[in-house]
Amino acid sequence: MKLVGDKIYLRFLEVHDAAAKLALNVRNRSFFEPFVTTRDDSYYTLETQLQSIKVAVDSKEKDQGYFWGVFLRESDDLIGFVSLTEVVRGPLQSGWLGYSLDSAQNGRGYTTEAVRLVVSYAFNTLQLHRIEAGVMPHNLGSIRVLEKAGFKREGLSKKNVLINGKWEDHLHFAVINPED
């Protein structure tokens, strides 16, 4: 299953994507590190990337999380990731959005397009009511992505995510299914 946009498409990562996933993470290690939890050298192995894809497949089958690769339509190159995690059913019907894009591809609208595709899938296919996202206040590019995709700022969560050994503040954003 593909979610197709103008310049990119998304599809769920599969076992055969492990080498490309590893290459993307290695190439962007220093670029991603200021925004993610601490990753030791074992993260940057084919075995770990393969295992993460297997966990993602299991998570999707259990309707707990969805993990897509972001691919260029013109070349089929893997250039990023988008995830919808912590999917909760029942009275909440919500999930948390996450994303990352190859530093060489920033500023071209790919992340905004990918986020819009996932929001549409979450609302129309998964029938979620609310999608939330957190972003560090200094990450202006990510804030713009969320705002362009219709997310509204709801507040500031103080020291709520451990990033590289330091508790970081995050702005809290959300978007509500317009059908609800």
Query: Could you read off the pLDDT of 111-143 as tens digits, one per residue?
Result: 999 999 999 999 999 999 999 999 999 999 999
Mean pLDDT, range 58-72, rounded to an integer? 98
Domain boundaries, the chain: 2-176
Q: Which helix (H) or strand (E) holds 60?
A: helix 46-61
Is the model's pLDDT at 155 over the cut of 90? yes
Is there a contact between 142 and 168 (Cβ–Cβ < 8 Å)? no
According to DSSP, the residues that pair with 163 across neighbouring strands are: 166
Are β-strands 78-88 and 66-72 bridged in parallel, bridged antiparallel, or unpaired? antiparallel
Compute the distance between CA of residue 53 and CA of residue 18 in angstroms, rounded to an integer. Answer: 7
- Does 164 score more than 90 pLDDT? no
Give tens-digit pLDDT for 19-64. Answer: 999 999 999 999 999 888 889 999 999 999 999 999 999 999 999 9
- Write down the residue that tokens 């299953």 correspond to: 1
The hierarchical CATH code for the domain 2-176 is 3.40.630.30
